[in-house]
Structure 1
Amino acid sequence: MESITMIVALLVPNFLMGIGITAAVIMLLTIAAGLYRQLAYLPKFFWQYPMSYISFTAWAVQGQYKNDVIGLEFEPWVPGQPKLRGERILETDLGVNSNHSKWWDLTALFFIFSCHRVVFFMVLKYKDRAVLLLHRLFSKQSFEPLRKTPSDSFRREKYTSSKRHQPLHPLSSQEGLASPLP
């Protein structure tokens, strides 16, 4: 979460916008974790495939579930039935795939953390260059129509001099000073 917060803080202009965008990004990543609804019940196109793999919360929750439940036996819901194994509870009740171990989940978390840090470094290093490039691009696009059809303010004669840079006249030719000095 810290890495995501730092990336968003670099990209947004003020504090309040940063809080809102960070909360939204972290909530999107938390939805795919299987805390609120099992991953099998979420739409496959967006939530199951890309979001569940890039969500650090999904990998952390799956690793925690595996750490807490694998190897344990639980009392059945109905007395007299056989005890429930932790692996079965993971797959049926929690919707967690137990094909890989908790160490794989921890490795995925470390990889996601490293990727977030690399993205943070890239944003930190190239943000100013990208902003300058975008300003240059947008200024070219906004002045292009003006160059094609000049407005009245741009229709000046090419060789007229401004009033500020007129040749100097002697004091006697200026208004109010035409009379000789006493």
Structure 2
Amino acid sequence: MMLNGGFFRLPNDLPKPVWRYPMYYVAFHKYANQGFYKNEFPGLSFPNIQATGGATVSGSEILRNFWQVEMRYSKWVDLAVLCGMVVLYRLLFLAIEKLKPMIAGLRFRSTMRSVQVAEQGSGSQ
């Protein structure tokens, strides 16, 4: 909710070196919002309150011009990306859980070695 409540910036307003290219495309909010907008707006028409243009504005035009939604692909691609992120993150967390005991074992071995070195070093005096 916070991202849509004023903290979420439109794509063209984001600084390009860091936030636009790696972060914007990795965030799940991009795909969730755009999929939602693509589901709701196409096919609708709204009254045009601006002086230029016709009497109505189409929902697709609002998506392209106002919300800056990428219209090259459908809402189903956004949904597939979200599902892929869920699977990827679950596999990542599973791998981390499997690696935790190995990392803890390595850390325990390194502390044991330092204790042994300290004991051998103090016994020779």
Shorter-chain TM-score tier: 0.7 to 0.9
* Larger-gyration structure (1/2): 1
Higher normalized helix content (fraction of residues)? 2
1:51 to 10, 23, 26: 23
Is 1:64 the equivalent of 2:36? yes
1:124 to 90, 94, 97: 97
What is the identity, as a one-letter code, of the residue corresponding to 1:63? G
Is 1:108 the equivalent of 2:108? no
Matching residue of 1:174 = none
User: Bigger CA drift: 125-134 or 83-92?
Assistant: 125-134
Matching residue of 2:68 = 95
What is the identity, as a one-letter code, of the residue corresponding to 1:59? Y
User: Bigger CA drift: 127-136 or 99-108?
Assistant: 127-136
Q: TM-score, normalised by structure 2?
A: 0.78
Q: TM-score, normalised by structure 1?
A: 0.56
Q: Gapped runs of 5+ residues in structure 1? A: 1-26, 158-182
C-alpha distance in structure 2 between counterparts of 1:140 and 1:48, whole Å: 46
Maintained 8 Å contact 1:60/1:109? yes
Maintained 8 Å contact 1:54/1:112? no
C-alpha distance in structure 2 between counterparts of 1:86 and 1:35, whole Å: 24
How far residue 156 of structure 1 moved from its aligned partner, in angstroms, is: 4.2
> What is the RMSD of the two structures over their aligned residues, measured on CA atoms?
3.0
How far residue 134 of structure 1 moved from its aligned partner, in angstroms, is: 3.7
User: Bigger CA drift: 39-48 or 110-119?
Assistant: 39-48
Choose between structure 1 and 2 for higher RCO, CA contacts under 8 A separated by at least 6 residues. 2
C-alpha distance in structure 2 between counterparts of 1:131 and 1:64, whole Å: 43
After superposition, the Cα gap between the structure-2 partners of 1:94 and 1:133, relative to the gap in structure 1 and judged at 3 Å, is same
Matching residue of 1:75 = 47
